[in-house]
Amino acid sequence: MTAVQALSDQDREHLRSFREAARQVRESSIINGGDAVVIRGERQDSGRFKTTALLLASEPFRSLALSVRLVYQTGEPAHFGRICNIFERSGDPSMRLAVRELRAKYNRTLSDHHALAFVVGLLGPESPSPQDMFETWLYFGAFHQDPSRRADYEAFAELGDVFPGIVQSIMLRLSGRILDLDDVVADFLHELRLPRITGDSADV
Query: In sequence order, what DSSP letters do the residues of 75-109 get, joined into one string?
Result: TSTT-HHHHHHHHHHHS-HHHHHHHHHHHHHHHHH
Q: What is the DSSP letter of 198?
A: -
Each of the 204 residues of the chain gets a pLDDT tens digit; together they read 344 447 999 999 999 999 999 999 999 999 999 999 987 767 667 767 677 778 999 999 999 999 999 999 999 999 999 999 999 999 999 999 999 999 999 999 998 876 555 555 555 556 788 899 999 999 997 877 788 989 999 988 888 888 898 899 999 999 999 999 999 999 999 999 999 876 443 344
**Alpha carbon distance 127, 153 (integer Å):** 14
Query: Distance between CA 184 and CA 89 in Å, rounded?
Result: 15
Residue 42, class by beta-carbon neighbours within 10 Å (0-12 exposed, 13-18 middle, 19+ buried)? exposed
DSSP secondary structure letter of residue 44? -
Buried b / exposed e along 72-89 (16+ C-beta atoms within 10 A): beeebbbbbebbbebbee
Query: How long a stretch of residues is the chain?
Result: 204
Kind and range of the H or E run holding 52: strand 49-54
Q: Using alpha carbons only, give the angle 171, 21, 148 rounded to the nearest 5 degrees.
A: 50
CA separation for the pair 20, 79 (Å, rounded)? 12
Give yes or no for a contact between 187 and 199, defined as CB atoms under 8 angstroms apart: no
Domain chopping of the chain, boundaries: 3-192
What are the angstrom distances between the C-alpha of 9 and each of 14, 16, 76, 99, 122? 9, 11, 16, 21, 46
